[in-house]
Amino acid sequence: MSSILLKSAKILDPESSHHLQTKDILIENGVITQLEASIESADKIINFDNLHVSNGFFDSSVSFGEPGFEERETLANGVTSARRSGFTSFFLNPNLYPVTDTNSAVKFLQQQIDTQLIDIKPLGALTKGFDGKNLAELYDMQMAGAVGFYDFKIPIADANLFKIALQYVKSFDGLLFSFPQDKSIAGQAQVNEDEFTTYIGLKGMPSLAEELQVARDLYILEYTGGKLHIPNISTKNSIQLIKEAKAKGLKVTCSVALPHLFFTSQKLESFDSKYKILPPLRTQKDAEALREAVKTGTIDMVTCDHEPMDEEHKELEFENASYGSIGLESAFSVLNTLFGVEKASELLSKTKTKLGIQTSIIEVNQRADLSLFDPNSEYIFQKQHIISKSKNAIFLGESLKGKVLGSIYNSSFYEN
């Protein structure tokens, strides 16, 4: 029998009878067997200063590289970076090569994952090869284990195709993702259209490009029914549109990426390509509205939007660089800095239920699925803190509060 003992752990789990209490936690063969004021022995004893624990962290948008883009990230190292960053579960985006758009592609991914170490749930593509024209094998992929369908960061321009997709997946309770951007409005612009970006000479895309797509998708959802997730919303008006749709009873959820809560387009003054993300960084008013919507629950969840990119595609002049930033390693620290530890742990561990993902409770006889952290530790986020193969981190150089100490999933412990 293998056993792990957490000493003096403050528990953050509103569903647990031990919420906000400091207890010793004994885990035997992947199950919590004791929660007491003091427990003496185990095969492995974990004793950190100011140890806090919550349910294992989850993210709705993680990209790796394998298969096809192993230079960006491998599955093995990606799992290590996730677990050491406190994540025990996430949705894996289908932006691989080949694109995850068939039953066999979903099965291949699942065969590469050790389910005793982590719970990775693959997303399938909505259209074949992300072509935006022909629906992929949606039902077959769901039967193989895909949890939703998403042409990663590629908007579905064809409104009728989107309507048909919603009607089709409704028959088997499927979940559609729709990236919020009208490309005919966005054009070739790479940053937000605002006073500051105009001043520094960058061609901007108006927030209208996002809001038109959100409005269109919600109108179609109201017509068809079904379930829709809108990832990476970034503007104040998008929040209002989604709030109104929810008031009508539509089954819509949404997420915001961490950089849009933390930064604004003012960061582009340096023309540093690490700030080139999609959607682009918006205005201070947008960032404030997004933070408020996270607090009130209009925005259902946050995502670190982890998107590794190799140096050849990222370390270029701003206009030539690829979009994207990694975020697993900094996610807890950023949220803890913005909202405090209780809200941060809730956003990372409990909001997954809105996408139908079950969460465990920190109680005796429950499966061990825990993230470990110290919310008071302050540091400057640097490359030495990055476990990911790619180092394209938008938060490099930022002063953050709170460090992840590791995670426990079943019988495995990863220390950061």
Q: What are the two backbone dihedrals, phi and then psi, of residue 372, each rounded to the nearest 5 degrees?
A: -115, 135
Q: Which among 325, 374, 373, 381 is positioned nearest to 87, based on CA atoms?
A: 373
- In the set 24, 300, 305, 310, the catalytic residue is 305
Which whole-number Å values give the CA distances from 300 to 107, 171, 297, 348, in the listed order? 29, 24, 6, 11
Q: Which helix (H) or strand (E) holds 186?
A: helix 183-186
Strand partners, 400: 379
Rounded Cα distance between 363 and 365, Å, is 6
Rounded Cα distance between 309 and 72, Å, is 5
Counts of helices then strands in the chain (DSSP H, E): 13, 17
Burial class for 19, CB neighbours closer than 10 Å (0-12, 13-18, 19+): middle
pLDDT at 1: 56
- In this structure, how many other beta carbons lie within 10 angstroms of the beta carbon of residue 136? 26
Rounded Cα distance between 233 and 243, Å, is 12
What type of residue sits at position 281? L
Rounded Cα distance between 137 and 222, Å, is 24
Q: Against a cut of 0.75, is the pTM above it?
A: yes
Question: Who contacts 324 (Cβ-Cβ below 8 Å, separation ≥6)?
Answer: 63, 276, 277, 278, 307, 308, 309, 314, 392
Q: Which helix (H) or strand (E) holds 277?
A: none
Positions of CATH 2.30.40.10 in the chain:
3-52+363-415
Decide: 362 and 53 in contact? Cβ < 8 Å: yes
pLDDT at 399: 98
Distance of CA 330 to the CA centre of its chain: 12
CA R_g for the chain: 21
Decide: 127 and 154 in contact? Cβ < 8 Å: no
Rounded Cα distance between 18 and 409, Å, is 20
pLDDT means over runs of 10, the chain (416 residues): 92 97 97 96 95 98 97 97 98 98 97 96 98 98 98 98 98 97 95 95 95 98 98 98 98 98 96 97 98 97 97 94 98 98 96 90 97 98 98 98 97 96
Q: Where are the alpha helices (DSSP H) in 270-404?
A: 284-296, 311-314, 331-339, 341-349
Q: Which helix (H) or strand (E) holds 215?
A: helix 208-224
CATH 3.40.720.10 fits 57-355, yes or no: no
Which whole-number Å values give the CA distances from 404 to 334, 379, 408, in the listed order? 11, 12, 12
Q: Which among 214, 190, 325, 310 is positioned nearest to 262, based on CA atoms?
A: 325
- Euclidean distance between the first and the last CA atom of the chain, given in angstroms as a whole number: 25
pLDDT at 46: 97
Decide: 368 and 411 in contact? Cβ < 8 Å: yes
305 is annotated as an active-site residue: yes
Name the fold adopted by 3-52+363-415. Urease, subunit C; domain 1 (2.30.40)
